[in-house]
């Protein structure tokens, strides 16, 4: 099993106004896909602004194990010399994905579509996450699950077929990871692979496949869904990628500035792909003073500077159909809701139960530990905001979940008493510089036994 980082307790305290400009790291979803599509292309893919978090670094190592040459040229600047669709080799060692659900699931799609065999493993969080949702369509495409832990979890060994079968697959859950795994496997199938999703999810795989030269069409399907068709066996062309800043990481600084009185900050160059901006929509409905400036395009994605001023927030009803556009942002939205006046009801959160932790339970428990009134009804989380948060309770249990850790550190910046969390180490999976970046804006965050939280080393 993957060696976990040693736990590192942390605490945040009531802070003065947050001010200044910040640039959060590159988007995690695009970073994983950049490396993987680099592996599947012939030639040199150059990446600028790659997120150098533990999750993405694990994907980089996996790409190297499958035959690519993956090199770090400078901070955030990487070169992948790929081998092309159909030319991968079986890795000699287990692919250890640590905490990374996206990296492992997308790579299962790659392996499951190629005549190679690989073993996947990860930390205690990854070992608890469902993989059947990925293995089911891959088996339909001809892959064989050689062995797996109970319920089809990792550690598991997957062998792709000699001839991959192109399928039409309707995803059973609104998941960009399932969609992407099927499309990546479909790259090595003769014919058209189709994925139908009832609710549109982040579309980075489709957009990037097109940028690498694959033939992909996307059509509306039903009220909220899409049908994505990929023509198999393309010769992907290596390309240059500029990774925009991650809206899911920007979310923490954004909410921190909203709830910390007197704050005004600018978060630079954040991707505003409409399938990722549900949090901003919701916060604006709550009364947040959030505006976009310098809107322009980077690498086929719209980006903007986000200007945020501390705001009085009011509770709102968040519809379930918005969930795919803000699926990773509910923990930090719950923090905003705790500082708002009135009830915020977040509907249809069943997918939160299978994230890095059971996020529905973890957020609820954390809110209660901080003295916030909250309850779960079915798949809904209801937070009763009182305009302020007591804080000061037992350390919040983060369950190896980076977003739980960052969310509750944000809560402590404006609560009456400090908020402690049991472990900040996992923050390095997605946002290695979270603590220094937040401190630079004026946030009072202390990490025990660690001067800094740098995840990237190579």
Q: Which of 225, 201, 228, 226 is nearest to 214 (CA)?
A: 228
175 is in an annotated binding site: yes
CA–CA dist 316, 323 (Å, integer):
14
CA–CA dist 356, 403 (Å, integer):
9
Q: Which of 289, 306, 356, 378 is nearest to 125 (CA)?
A: 356
33 is in an annotated binding site: yes
CA–CA dist 355, 345 (Å, integer):
20
177 is in an annotated binding site: yes
Least Cβ distance, residue 177 to ligand S3P (angstroms): 3
Least Cβ distance, residue 351 to ligand S3P (angstroms): 6
Is 401 an active-site residue?
Answer: no
CA–CA dist 330, 279 (Å, integer):
8
355 is in an annotated binding site: yes
User: In the 8-state DSSP scheme, what is residue 395?
Assistant: P
132 is in an annotated binding site: no
Burial of 440 (0-12, 13-18, 19+ CB in 10 A): middle
Query: What are the residues facing 343 on neighbouring strands?
Result: 384
**Closest to ligand S3P by CB, 175 or 273:** 175
Compute the CA torsion angle 386, 392, 395, 398 (nearest 10 deg). Answer: 30
Least Cβ distance, residue 402 to ligand S3P (angstroms): 10
129 is in an annotated binding site: yes
Residues with Cβ within 8 Å of 71's Cβ and at least 6 positions away in sequence, in order, are: 78, 79, 80, 81
**Closest to ligand S3P by CB, 248 or 260:** 248
**Closest to ligand S3P by CB, 12 or 175:** 175
**Closest to ligand S3P by CB, 328 or 433:** 328
**Closest to ligand S3P by CB, 305 or 356:** 356
Burial of 356 (0-12, 13-18, 19+ CB in 10 A): buried
439 is in an annotated binding site: no
CA–CA dist 164, 186 (Å, integer):
7
81 is in an annotated binding site: no
Least Cβ distance, residue 268 to ligand S3P (angstroms): 22
Question: Which spans of this chain sit near ligand S3P (rule: CB under 6 A)?
Answer: 29, 102, 175-177, 180, 202, 327-328, 351
Least Cβ distance, residue 205 to ligand S3P (angstroms): 7
Catalytic residue among 121, 328, 401, 433: 328
Question: Is the separation of the CB atoms in 376 and 360 below 8 Å?
Answer: yes
Least Cβ distance, residue 353 to ligand S3P (angstroms): 11
CA–CA dist 241, 82 (Å, integer):
14
**Closest to ligand S3P by CB, 101 or 385:** 101
Least Cβ distance, residue 358 to ligand S3P (angstroms): 13
CA–CA dist 415, 406 (Å, integer):
15
User: In the 8-state DSSP scheme, what is residue 199?
Assistant: B
**Closest to ligand S3P by CB, 251 or 265:** 251
CA–CA dist 180, 91 (Å, integer):
21
Which residues are known binding-site members for 3-phosphoshikimate?
28-29, 33, 175, 177, 328, 355
Active-site residue numbers?
A: 328
Residues flagged as binding site? 28-29, 33, 101, 129, 175, 177, 328, 355, 359, 403
């Amino acid at each position: 099993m993957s060696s976990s980082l040693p736990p590192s307790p942390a605490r945040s305290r009531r802070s003065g106004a947050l001010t200044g400009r910040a640039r959060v790291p590159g988007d995690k979803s695009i970073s994983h896909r950049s490396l993987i599509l680099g592996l599947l292309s012939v030639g040199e893919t150059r990446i600028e602004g790659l997120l150098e978090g533990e999750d993405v670094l694990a994907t980089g190592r996996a790409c190297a194990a499958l035959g690519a040459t993956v090199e770090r040229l400078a901070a955030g600047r990487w070169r992948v010399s790929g081998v092309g669709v159909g030319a991968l080799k079986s890795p000699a060692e287990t692919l250890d994905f640590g905490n990374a659900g996206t990296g492992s699931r997308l790579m299962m799609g790659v392996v499951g579509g190629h005549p190679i065999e690989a073993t996947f493993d990860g930390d205690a969080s990854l070992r608890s996450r469902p993989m059947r949702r990925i293995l089911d369509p891959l088996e339909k495409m001809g892959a064989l699950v050689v062995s797996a832990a109970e319920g089809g979890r990792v550690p598991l060994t997957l062998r792709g077929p000699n001839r991959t079968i192109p399928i039409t697959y309707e995803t059973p859950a609104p998941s960009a990871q399932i969609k992407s795994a099927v499309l990546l496997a479909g790259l090595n199938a003769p014919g058209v692979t189709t994925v139908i999703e009832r609710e549109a999810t982040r579309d980075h795989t489709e957009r990037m496949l097109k940028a690498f030269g694959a033939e992909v069409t996307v059509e509306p399907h039903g009220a909220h869904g899409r049908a994505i068709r990929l023509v198999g066996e393309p010769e992907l062309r290596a390309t240059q990628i500029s990774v925009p800043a991650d809206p899911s990481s920007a979310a923490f600084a954004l909410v921190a500035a909203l709830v910390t009185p007197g704050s005004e900050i600018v978060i630079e160059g954040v991707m505003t792909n409409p399938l990722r901006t549900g949090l901003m929509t919701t916060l604006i409905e709550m009364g947040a003073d959030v505006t976009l400036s310098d809107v322009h395009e980077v690498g086929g994605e719209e980006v903007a500077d986000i200007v945020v001023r501390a705001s009085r927030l009011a509770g709102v009803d968040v519809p379930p159909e918005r969930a795919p556009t803000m699926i990773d942002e509910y923990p930090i939205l719950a923090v905003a809701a705790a500082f708002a006046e009135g009830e915020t009801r977040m509907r249809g959160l069943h997918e939160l139960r299978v994230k890095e932790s059971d996020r529905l339970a973890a957020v609820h428990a954390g809110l209660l530990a901080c003295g916030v009134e909250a309850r779960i009804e079915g798949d809904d989380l209801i937070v009763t905001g009182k305009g302020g948060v007591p804080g000061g309770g037992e350390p919040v249990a983060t369950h190896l979940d980076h977003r739980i850790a960052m969310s509750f550190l944000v809560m402590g910046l404006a609560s009456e008493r400090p908020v402690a969390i049991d472990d900040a180490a996992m923050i390095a999976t997605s946002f290695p510089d979270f603590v220094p970046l937040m401190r630079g804006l004026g946030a009072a965050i202390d990490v025990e036994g660690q001067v800094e939280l740098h995840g990237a080393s190579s």
